[in-house]
Amino acid sequence: MNELVFSNTETVVQLLYLVASVLFILGLRDLGNAETARRGVLLAEVGMVAAVIGTLLYGFSVSGVIIRWEWILVALVLGSGIGTMMGLYIPMTKMPERIALSHAFGGIAVALVGVAEYMHLDLAEPGLTLKLVATGLEVALGAVTFTGSLVAFGKLQGI
């Protein structure tokens, strides 16, 4: 986007991103001290919500890439449900295993986004090689993270 004039929605999106960044930094600072660590997590959580809302708003109103919003809603609800279960009911002694699983989820998400991006690449676009390399790396790293984390999980579980 080369226009100097931002739409109102775009301004709101940029402000949300700015708020998220500030909250992340403040949250990280608070995490450095045991007294304020929990407040730091809270700040980071609010920042994350702002970032997600900003991205959704951007997809809906600015770039228009979000078409099947029902799927996003279902995925968000499902993910929140599973995440809450895992967050509340996994015993503390199983933390290393949980972290390994969590990394696997992150890896698979990155890899899948990379695959979806690859499918929508415009072959006539300038700078295609760079995009191809970046997308390829994204998929490769995501897949390595996914399988590696599952192996780590398995080893921790003694499977």
Q: What is the DSSP letter of 90?
A: S
Q: Is the dihedral of CA 38, 39, 41, 45 positive or negative?
A: positive
Site string for other proteins, 6-35 (x = CB under 8 A): ----------------------------x-
Q: Interface with other proteins includes 95 (CB under 8 A)?
A: yes
Stretch that binds other proteins, among 18-26, 64-72, 128-136, 151-159 (CB under 8 A): 64-72
Stretch that binds other proteins, among 1-9, 17-25, 98-106, 125-133 (CB under 8 A): 98-106
**What tokens were used for 94?**
């199983």
Q: What is the DSSP letter of 125?
A: S
Tell me the HSE value of 68 on the side-chain side, using a 13 A CA sphere. Answer: 4
Applying CB under 8 A, among 4, 5, 119, 130 the residue interacting with other proteins is: 119
Centroid of chain to Cα 24: 14
Run of H or E including 40:
helix 37-57
Return residues touching other proteins (CB under 8 A).
Answer: 34, 37-38, 41, 44-45, 48, 68, 71-72, 74-76, 78-80, 82-84, 86-88, 90, 92, 95, 98, 102, 105-106, 108-110, 112-113, 115-116, 119-120
